[in-house]
Amino acid sequence: MTRYLLQQVLHRGPVLLLITVISFGIMHLAPGKPTDAATQFNPKVSLEARQRMEQLYGLDQPLPRQYAHWMGRLVRFDFGRSFLDDRPVTEKILERLPITLTINLWSLLLILGIAIPLGVLSAVRPNGLFDRLTTVLVFIGYSAPSFWVALLCMAWFGVTLHWLPISGIHSLDYESFGMIHRWLDTGWHLILPVGIAAFTSVAGMSRYMRSSMVDVLRQDYIRTARAKGVSERRVLFHHGLRNGLLPVITILGLSLPDLIGGSVIAETIFSIPGMGRLFYEAVMARDYPVVMALVTIGAVLTMIGNFLADAGYAVADPRIRVESRA
Amino acid sequence: MKALLGNRLAVIGALTLAALAVVAIAARWVAPHDPLQVNLPDALLAPCRAYPLGTDQLGRDVLSRLIYGARISLLIGFIAVGIAVSIGTVVGALAGFYGGWLDAILMRFVDTMLSIPTIFLLLAIIAVIGPSIELIMVVIGLTSWMGVARLVRAEILSLKEREFVLAAHVLGASSWRVITKHLLPNAMGPVLVSATLGVGGAILSESVLSYLGLGVQPPTPSWGNILNEGRIALGVAWWLTLAPGLCILTTVLAFNLLGEGIRERLSRQ
Amino acid sequence: MERSLNRSALGAAGRRQHDRQRSWFVSAILVLVPNLFFSPVASADSPPPPTSGDAIVVGSIGDASRLLPILATDSASGDIVGLLFNGLLKYNERLEIVGDLAESWTVSEDGLTFTFHLRPNVRWHDGAAVTARDVEFTYRKLIDPNVRTPYSSSYELVQSLDVLDDHTVRIRYKEPFAPALESWMMGVIPKHLLEGQDLNTTPFLRKPVGHGPYTFVRWKTGELIELKANPDYFEHRPYIDRYLYRIIPDEATLFLELLTQGVDLSSLTPLQYRRQTNSPFMQRAYHKFRYPSFGFTYLGYNLQDERFKDIRVRQAINRAIDKQALIEGVLYGLGAIATGPYPKESWGYDPSIVPTPYDPRAAKALLAEAGWSDHDGDGWLDRNGQRFQFTILTNQGNEVRRQVAELIQQQLKAVGIDVKIRTVEWSTFVHEFIDKRRFEAVLLGWSLSRDPDLYDLFHSSKTKEGEYNFVGYANPDVDRLLLEGRRTFDHEQRVRIYHDVHRHLYEDQPYTFLFVSDALPMLSSRFRNVVPTPIGIGYNFIDWYAPRSEQRYHAVMQQ
């Protein structure tokens, strides 16, 4: 196992380095400077004042040196400070992380809660009426532009029916609520964003679940169980699901980085201060430290996720050996 | 083909796409108005006889803009996928066929590309160079070839030990010939499925870019930018939001149903 | 970004349409629209005494970044900072400069020495007194090269600042500088809390302590900034208890929030103003305001370009663009034709200048005179075999400009000029195209400070990379007038100078001045004492109140 781990690190280390170099390159070769937002096109800001600000940010240094500087801090787990407001990048990320995690975890749970039963039931009679109906339904979710669905839902549930809050994650008097009231309030605000996230992405998981179950239900032992007179329900949810779920579990490993990556679109539409907007705003403002930190964290999580998925496969299927993997 | 016909959903998808393609190609004859003709006195008219889907803020005919927009959106979808499939096939074939160091390096590169968030690449490159139809196609293509590369590699790995391939080697066929004549044609099934789904994905990507203001630029209509422009007028002009949204929904859905149909067919072989 | 130094509760409102216009002042002249605006002041027979309580929820597209006056560069930071800090001076509702922290001030004969006498009774929110040392500290930090403030250039001409006693400062200038008074509207920052700190990174930026009418409570990044009334404010305690600044980054969402009264104050797009806010419910729940913004939208030419060097070509385009049609089509009539850089309400505006009439035929004649006519009969003008084709460059994300560009494209097509449109993201736009002069024409807007000084925009010395005369305009007469205007203190004289500047710019057409759009804020009708004046409605924000029976947000924040 240690050898396996070591090999993984050796394989994936260079990838990580390459990711930082590419991201750093793209960001820095882009025209525009982080000082633009504060200084551009303000007639009261002189050229000298601008150059002075660039110097203060270290932007007059050659690129390799800026990169080395950044890497040097990174190995000490220091992501530096944002160019936009001079706050530590870590602080900015930690502030956004909880809400994004909450939304993503709830969406994931909802997706699993919908996709697993749908997948199983569709697999009972592939291409039957139920299967076709759910196929069309989940694909409608996948095929609609999410901001369009969000807008229609906000207009309908928020404005016309007055059932749900339109945007934000808390009521304005949130601070004065008790513990339970706070939870309910947040939950209330999250219904639309979580629901829409699940609706627009349930397709992948449910299709995956369906094909996995279709495969499993063709196996001999299922036929044996049925022949032995085990009830259909037990066949499906006991014998079938247990094996049908295996590939789904490895998929969960791969979606690890998605848990911290928020959606710019959903967060903008629903006024949610999450990771997606942080990233988008950082790119647009050329806030290099924040962009680089997020890309690096994402890459590391992807690596860990891949590793977990691989490890999952290896555990589930001992035929997969270290040697056979490129 | 016959089995595909058996899948009613796939047939519906294919027919929808065929109809759409005809309309897009024949846009000049089908569209009732010039999609670029500004006509201020007619701004924001609800659907009526002269304008079956109403008009936008500058009095342009929404139906005509959607018809011409279909051209742009489909073009973006097909070309982006074409780029992705070409790159993915070449990379996957090389990696799968030669293996060893080349495989390791290429697959590390695929891993790298997969680890950098797509939206970052899209945003950074388009924001920097400035949105144009060509760039949007290229960038969507450049950020979506990795899946194809992995698919092709996996197929080639499983095919290259098969008898007919070994036979070709023995008979002295060149590597090039083995790849192009024996391996790739047999690996193309899953790629076709992934490409069909990919066209839908690219159309959605364009609409997301439009939402961020980085999509196809005016006055050229695309479904994404018509939808985004209409969004702001939601309260007064529902047709500006509903029509392009439904166009995107229907088309992407059709591509997905067709793709699923092909996948179903292949898995039964 | 824009910046507001005076207290403007309306800052959020001013910004949306002028997202990319940058300058100091956000608020603008306000003209009452009698038929659309139901005035609470006029209708109340005997106004009840103001009641305290309630909260106002302001909707903003962007979040603040640094809550310190000398570092605040975006409009959201400006909005908040304006309620927390005051300057020495401010504009009153008639656009006259009056004292704010300064009770009185004197200017020496030669215009070189200013003496400010501070109010004696102003306290920081932590109880310490506001003194002349704080003013001195603010100035030191403004000119400190280690502080990342973009405002230092307004203080370059200051020779010295002396503290005469706790409540008196004397400032000497190296040469006469008429816009100096305006620069002392900069918010004063607390020496006792910031001394010895690195201003760029101090925690103060997210937890500011001011002396203004409102006190900082909390800031949840990307979500909400909350302020509460300062009971010890030197004028009087504001009636509205809480000020809640909600960050809602999507315009469509912001509007939906207005529809459900989730937001009390926000600005409208022209379309929303005209077509989407006329339901009986909206009429009852909100008041709409309309007043010209202090800025203009223009088509600027690269005057290095051979074609645009010819003044006849510029004048022809000026005649070929139907500005009234732009205003009708894009602004739904909510704007006014611009003839120069000043709105009608500015004292720099020369009222004798009338807009050039829309006259495509005259435009064609002028173009023909300049050698441009359709020689090959393809419908486009050409000269020496070259078609008259140019690209209008504008920034992404501004819906109004996008539509204006499309209309201009159509209108110039009618006289045979082939226009292409290109939109580029802001940062790239400035660096790659404006700074490097890689443009033929740009569609942009400026928003301006009250002082009509335009030295940075039109003086021929301001054409280096990164400076603002990027069109390359050079007219010795204008150069002379702009310098003179800066050195003259006599108001009448300055009026004459800037009228001349206006006329020169009108005749030379370095830009085709298009229009001045209206600011269109909408405010919940429960607030009373909202009196529209030349500088907007925000100037007397501390006097606004909601009658007890109409208050929406109760209790919670008891002091």
CATH assignment at residue C59: 3.40.190.10
Q: Which residue from B minimizes the CA distance to A135? A: B257
Yes or no: say if C293 and C370 are a contact pair by the CB < 8 Å rule.
Answer: no
- The answer to whether the Cβ–Cβ distance between A49 and C257 falls below 8 Å is no
Residue C66 corresponds to which amino acid?
R
What's the structural domain count of chain A? 2
Q: Any residues with CB less than 8 A from the CB of A104 and at least 6 apart, and which? A: A197, A258, A259, A260, A262
Alpha-carbon span C215 to C131, nearest angstrom: 19
Helix (H) or strand (E) holding A151, with range, is: helix A146-153
For residue C314, tell me if it sits in a domain. yes
Q: At C443, is the secondary structure helix, strand, or coil?
A: strand
Least CB-CB distance to A22: which of B108, B116, B260? B116
- The answer to whether the Cβ–Cβ distance between C223 and A170 falls below 8 Å is yes
Range from A75-84, B22-31, B221-230, C336-345 carrying the lowest mean pLDDT = A75-84
Reported confidence tier of residue C534, pLDDT bands at 50, 70, 90: low
Query: Strand C521-524 vs strand C335-337: parallel, antiparallel, or unpaired?
Result: unpaired
- Do A70 and A138 reside in the same domain of the chain? no
* B66-87: pLDDT as tens digits: 999 999 999 999 999 999 999 9
Q: Any residues with CB less than 8 A from the CB of A319 and at least 6 apart, and which? A: none
Q: What pLDDT is recorded for position C537?
A: 85
Q: What is the mean pLDDT of residues B207-226?
A: 87
Q: What pLDDT is recorded for position C556?
A: 52
Residue B6 corresponds to which amino acid?
G
- Do A56 and A108 reside in the same domain of the chain? no
pLDDT at C524 over 90: yes
Interface of B with C in 39-78 (CB under 8 A): 40, 43-44, 57-58
Query: For residue A143, which of B150, B132, B249, C265 has the smallest C-alpha distance?
Result: B249
- Do A114 and A166 reside in the same domain of the chain? yes
Q: Does A87 touch chain B (CB under 8 A)?
A: no
β-partners of residue C116 are C105, C169
- Do C80 and C150 reside in the same domain of the chain? no
Q: At C558, is the secondary structure helix, strand, or coil?
A: coil
What share of chain C in percent tops pLDDT 90?
Answer: 60
Least CB-CB distance to B207: which of A30, A145, A303? A145
Q: What is the mean pLDDT of residues B35-47?
A: 86
- Strand segments, DSSP code E, in C351-427 are 382-383, 386-387, 389-395, 418-424
Q: Does A284 touch chain C (CB under 8 A)?
A: yes
- The answer to whether the Cβ–Cβ distance between C406 and B130 falls below 8 Å is no
- Do A204 and A239 reside in the same domain of the chain? yes
Min Cα–Cα distance to chain C from B77, Å = 22
C153: chain A residues, CB-CB within 8 Å: 44-46, 48-49
Yes or no: say if C39 and C238 are a contact pair by the CB < 8 Å rule.
Answer: no
- Average pLDDT, rounded, for chain B: 88
Reported confidence tier of residue C14, pLDDT bands at 50, 70, 90: very low
C341: number of CA atoms within 13 Å, CB side?
28
* C428-459: pLDDT as tens digits: 777 778 877 889 999 999 878 888 999 888 99
- The answer to whether the Cβ–Cβ distance between A84 and C65 falls below 8 Å is yes
Q: What pLDDT is recorded for position C65?
A: 84
Q: Which two tokens stand for residue C86?
A: 């005051």
Q: How many residues does chain C have?
A: 559
Place of tokens 């759409």: B20
Of 1.10.3720.10, 1.10.1060.10, 3.90.120.10, 1.10.4160.10, the CATH number of B2-32+52-267 is 1.10.3720.10
Instruction: Please give the model's pTM, rounded to 2 decimal places.
Output: 0.84
Range from B142-146, B231-235, C153-157, C331-335 carrying the lowest mean pLDDT = B231-235
- Do A127 and A165 reside in the same domain of the chain? yes
Residue-by-residue DSSP string for C462-495: --STTSS-TT----HHHHHHHHHHHH---HHHHH
Q: What pLDDT is recorded for position B164?
A: 81
DSSP state, residue C460: T
Interface of B with C in 106-135 (CB under 8 A): 127-128, 130-131
pLDDT at C113 over 90: yes
**SS3 track for A43-96:** CCCCHHHHHHHHHHCCCCCCHHHHHHHHHHHHCCCCCCECCCCCCEHHHHHHHH
Yes or no: say if C539 and C533 are a contact pair by the CB < 8 Å rule.
Answer: yes
Q: Any residues with CB less than 8 A from the CB of C281 and at least 6 apart, and which? A: none
For residue A12, tell me if it sits in a domain. no
Helix (H) or strand (E) holding C230, with range, is: none
**Residue of higher predicted confidence among A287 and C511:** C511
B43: chain C residues, CB-CB within 8 Å: 329
Q: What pLDDT is recorded for position B171?
A: 82
Alpha-carbon span C139 to C24, nearest angstrom: 18
- The answer to whether the Cβ–Cβ distance between C422 and B130 falls below 8 Å is yes
What's the structural domain count of chain C? 3
B38: chain C residues, CB-CB within 8 Å: 329, 406-407, 410
Q: Which chains touch A (3 or more CB pairs under 8 A)?
A: B, C
Q: Any residues with CB less than 8 A from the CB of C319 and at least 6 apart, and which? A: C356, C357, C358, C359, C360, C362, C363, C366
Residue A287 corresponds to which amino acid?
D
Yes or no: say if B233 and B213 are a contact pair by the CB < 8 Å rule.
Answer: no
What are the angstrom distances between the C-alpha of C423 and each of B27, B57, C61, C317?
Answer: 26, 19, 21, 21
CATH assignment at residue A205: 1.10.3720.10
Q: What pLDDT is recorded for position C158?
A: 94
Domain that holds residue A66: 20-74
Min Cα–Cα distance to chain C from B167, Å = 57
For residue A79, tell me if it sits in a domain. no
For residue C550, tell me if it sits in a domain. yes
Q: Any residues with CB less than 8 A from the CB of C261 and at least 6 apart, and which? A: C285, C524, C552
Q: What pLDDT is recorded for position C26?
A: 29
pLDDT at A276 over 70: yes
Alpha-carbon span A279 to A167, nearest angstrom: 20
Q: Which residue from A minimizes the CA distance to C68? A: A85
Residue-by-residue DSSP string for chain B: -HHHHH-HHHHHHHHHHHHHHHHHHTHHHH-SS-TT---GGGTTPPS-SSSTT-B-TT--BHHHHHHHHHHHHHHHHHHHHHHHHHHHHHHHHHHHHH-HHHHHHHHHHHHHHHHS-HHHHHHHHHHHH---HHHHHHHHHHTS-HHHHHHHHHHHHHHTTSHHHHHHHHTT--HHHIIIIIIHHHHHHHHHHHHHHHHHHHHHHHHHHHHTT-SSPTTS--HHHHHHHHHTTTTT-HHHHHHHHHHHHHHHHHHHHHHHHHHHHHHH-
* Separation of first and last alpha carbons in chain A: 17
Least CB-CB distance to A151: which of C252, C466, C556? C252
Q: How many residues does chain A have?
A: 326
Reported confidence tier of residue B245, pLDDT bands at 50, 70, 90: very high
Q: What phi and psi values does residue A78 have, to the nearest 5 degrees?
A: -115, 115
For residue A1, tell me if it sits in a domain. no
Q: Any residues with CB less than 8 A from the CB of B238 and at least 6 apart, and which? A: none
- Do A46 and A165 reside in the same domain of the chain? no
Min Cα–Cα distance to chain B from C450, Å = 32
- Do A46 and A138 reside in the same domain of the chain? no
Domain that holds residue C126: 89-191
- Do A118 and A221 reside in the same domain of the chain? yes
A27: chain B residues, CB-CB within 8 Å: 124
Yes or no: say if C369 and C312 are a contact pair by the CB < 8 Å rule.
Answer: yes
Helix (H) or strand (E) holding A232, with range, is: helix A232-234
pLDDT at A65 over 50: yes
pLDDT at C558 over 50: no
- Do A53 and A173 reside in the same domain of the chain? no
CB atoms < 10 A from the CB of C397, how many? 16
C224: chain A residues, CB-CB within 8 Å: 168, 170, 172
Q: At C549, is the secondary structure helix, strand, or coil?
A: helix
Residue-by-residue DSSP string for C300-314: EE-TTSHHHHSHHHH
- The answer to whether the Cβ–Cβ distance between B120 and A291 falls below 8 Å is yes
Mutate to test the interface with A, among B120, B129, B142 (most CBs of A within 10 A): B120
Q: What angle do CA A132, A133, A139 make, to 5 degrees?
A: 90
Place of tokens 């016309």: A160
Q: At A116, is the secondary structure helix, strand, or coil?
A: helix
- Do A68 and A100 reside in the same domain of the chain? no
- ipTM passes above 0.90: no
Cis-peptide, bond into residue C343, ω within 30° of zero: no
Reported confidence tier of residue A49, pLDDT bands at 50, 70, 90: low
Alpha-carbon span C277 to C283, nearest angstrom: 7
Q: Does B233 touch chain C (CB under 8 A)?
A: yes
Q: What is the mean pLDDT of residues C42-69?
A: 80
- Work out how many CB contacts closer than 8 A connect A with C: 166
- Do C35 and C114 reside in the same domain of the chain? no
Residue-by-residue DSSP string for A17-51: HHHHHHHHHHHHHSSS-TTHHHHTT-TTS-HHHHH
Q: What is the mean pLDDT of residues A239-268?
A: 80
The four Cα atoms B259, B261, B265, B267 give a dihedral, to 10 degrees, of 70
Interface of B with A in 60-79 (CB under 8 A): none
Q: Which two tokens stand for residue C104?
A: 């009185």
- The answer to whether the Cβ–Cβ distance between C262 and A170 falls below 8 Å is no
Helix (H) or strand (E) holding A122, with range, is: helix A89-124
Domains of chain B by residue range: 2-32+52-267
Q: What is the mean pLDDT of residues C186-195?
A: 96
Q: What is the mean pLDDT of residues C10-25?
A: 33
Query: Strand C441-447 vs strand C511-519: parallel, antiparallel, or unpaired?
Result: unpaired
Range from A233-247, B138-152, C336-350 carrying the lowest mean pLDDT = A233-247
Q: At C255, is the secondary structure helix, strand, or coil?
A: helix
Residue ranges of alpha helices (H) inside C304-393 are 306-309, 311-320, 323-331, 360-369
Range from A31-40, A299-308, B37-46, C66-75 carrying the lowest mean pLDDT = A31-40
DSSP state, residue C81: H
Q: Any residues with CB less than 8 A from the CB of A2 and at least 6 apart, and which? A: none
Q: Does C22 touch chain A (CB under 8 A)?
A: yes
- Average pLDDT, rounded, for chain A: 81
Q: What pLDDT is recorded for position C42?
A: 41
**Residue of higher predicted confidence among A261 and C36:** A261
